[in-house]
Chain A
Amino acid sequence: MAQQFEPVIIGFTCNWCSYRAADSAGSGRLKYPPNIRLIRLMCSGRIDTTFVLQAFANGADAVLISGCHPGDCHYVEQNYKAQSRFLLMRRMLAQMGIEPQRLQLLWASAAEGTIFAAEVTRMVEEIRKLGPLNWGSDERRKTASRDEGLSSSVLRPSSSLQGVAA
């Protein structure tokens, strides 16, 4: 039997709500699949598009951005910034051929461990059906590193540059 595809999901959670929701799911012994790797940010407003792209480029199959419910942000309104970024990111990623399900936004308060566990379970199954993204694995995407092969004759002090008249 073919092995079941196990998606890798990177979850960005906020310190005040969604990370604590995940924590409370744990304390409550609620089970959810281990496919999600949580990264705690102080606020969902800290989400930088670079983080999301970095995750996809390095092999994540999906990314979850999670924060406090609208109006509940510890930093007043930063989760709204996360929301705007999420919506624009999803449009940009669609142009790159990344399905909208691969980037999701979830509001979860510190008390909503049940919701967090249920949503993560749902998302894992959704991505499992969608299949792997395999972004970083293509041979053609390999690159020469910046200084690989820089020969020792290059970039020595000016006096030793070859072919330069004394």
Chain B
Amino acid sequence: MSKPKFAMYWAAACGGCEIAVLNTNEKILDVDANFDVVFWPVAMDAKYKDVEAMADKSILLTLFNGAIRNDENEHIAHLLRKKSQILVAFGACATQGGIPGLANLSNTQSMVDTAFSTISTDNPDDIRPQTEYKMPEGKVTIPTLYPAVKSLNQVVPVDYYMPGCPPESHQIAAVIDLVVQVVQGKAQLPPAGAVIGAGNSSVCEECTRTRGEKQIKKFARIQDFKPDPAVCLLEQGILCCGSATRSGCGAVCPKAAVPCVGCYGATDDSPDHGARLLNAVASVIDSRDPAEVEKILDGIPDPAGMLYRFGMPGSLLRASKSAWQYKG
């Protein structure tokens, strides 16, 4: 009796998603007991050619974390799509583009310049990465950066979305339980395209802080003052993204006196997380004078980065003009 096959892959990601899976503690044993792990670069040795040799649709479940940043990421996304029955966009990067998606505010050239020639870099000969290089033994290549970061569903069809940076371990455990039950024929899969392992309300619903009327004269940051531990952070002028962000995490950040940064993305009814967040943030500004509003807005030094911290590629505009017009 062969066990169903499981794969997990990281594209443009930090590795936090894998840590979150391991943070499910003994639940990870259920994965081992119920699945045959065939490909998981972080946890075991396997080569791309091993995956290429597998029969199509032979992997039951693939958790794909990370954004699509270069041609290697995209190649593996297509490969795993072909080999998998269920492909899950796992974590903020795969679902929305995540932190790597912030690169969409700049073009490739300016990013490479920043990385290789700014003052903190010791690079006297101004050496730059080349995508291919001729060696006596032959040509060696590295993946080519794309002008704009993409989410997984922008390159291949995705069956389920599991948001979070990283997804909360108790949610991962619940999803593992569900899949195990499905495999055992005790449960049905949710409808295609569903968001799994998350709620569909806002983080505010799970937050224990008291909410009153929000009227803000000044935006502040948590290092600047000691916020009241019982009162809504946004009410205190701290840019908390909870009001426009999907629930499911248990409001862990605001409960720990840190503002929500919006990693669970938009709720089902919103096509653009940052837009909803912008509506909410602008609406709490307590001023009728445009000059004063501008002064208050100076308290948000990087609006695009704040509103789209985890979702630039998955937003309506996706990438800044300088990124998508770049023909490097």
Mark A residues whose CB is within 8 Å of B. Answer: 48-50, 52-54, 56-57, 70, 77, 80-81, 83-85, 87-89, 91-92, 95-98, 135, 138, 140-141, 143-151, 153-155, 157-159, 161-165
Contact = CB atoms under 8 A, between A and B. Distances in A.
B76 interface: no
B4 A163 contact: yes
Interface residues of B, number: 65
B182 to A, nearest CB: 5
B192 A157 contact: no
Contacts of B5: 163
Contacts of B155: 144
Interface centre among A50, A95, A144, A153 (most CB of B within 10 A): A50
Given A89-B278, A144-B154, A150-B157, A53 B315 contact: yes
Contacts, number: 163
A147 B157 contact: yes
Contacts of A144: 153-157
A59 to B, nearest CB: 12
Contacts of B278: 49, 85, 88-89, 92
Interface centre among A81, A150, A164 (most CB of B within 10 A): A164
B2 interface: yes
B118 interface: no
26 contacts: A50-B272, A50-B316, A52-B275, A53-B317, A56-B316, A80-B288, A81-B283, A83-B290, A84-B287, A88-B278, A88-B281, A92-B274, A95-B304, A135-B317, A140-B148, A148-B157, A155-B86, A157-B188, A158-B182, A158-B185, A161-B60, A161-B183, A162-B58, A163-B5, A163-B59, A165-B3
Given A48-B275, A146-B157, A153-B85, 7 more contacts: A49-B278, A77-B288, A88-B300, A146-B158, A158-B188, A159-B185, A161-B182
B307 interface: yes
B279 A155 contact: no
Interface string B315-327: 1111111101100
Given A140-B148, A158-B185, A92 B156 contact: no
B222 interface: no
Contact of A147 (B85, B86, B192, B305): B192
Given A49-B279, A155-B159, A57 B304 contact: no
B38 to A, nearest CB: 11
B324 to A, nearest CB: 5
What are the nearest 8 A-B pairs in CB distance?
A: A97-B321, A49-B275, A95-B304, A84-B282, A53-B316, A85-B282, A50-B275, A92-B303
B153 A140 contact: no
Given A96-B320, A155-B159, A49 B276 contact: yes
A50 B271 contact: yes
B60 A87 contact: no
Interface string B131-159: 00000000000000011101001111111
Contacts of B146: 140
A125 B185 CA distance: 65
Interface in B208-237: none
B267 to A, nearest CB: 12
B86 A154 contact: yes
Nearest to B266: A50
B258 interface: no
B105 interface: yes
A92 B307 contact: yes
A85 B279 contact: yes
Given A88-B297, A97-B322, A163 B2 contact: yes
A95 B192 contact: no
Given A50-B271, A70-B288, A154-B159, A143 B317 contact: no
B192 A158 contact: no
Interface in B269-312: 270-272, 274-276, 278-279, 281-283, 285, 287-288, 290, 293-294, 297, 300, 302-305, 307
Nearest to A81: B283
A85 B283 contact: yes
Contacts of B304: 92, 95-96
A56 B286 CA distance: 28
Contacts of B283: 81, 84-85
Given A140-B324, A146-B158, A155-B86, A54 B288 contact: no
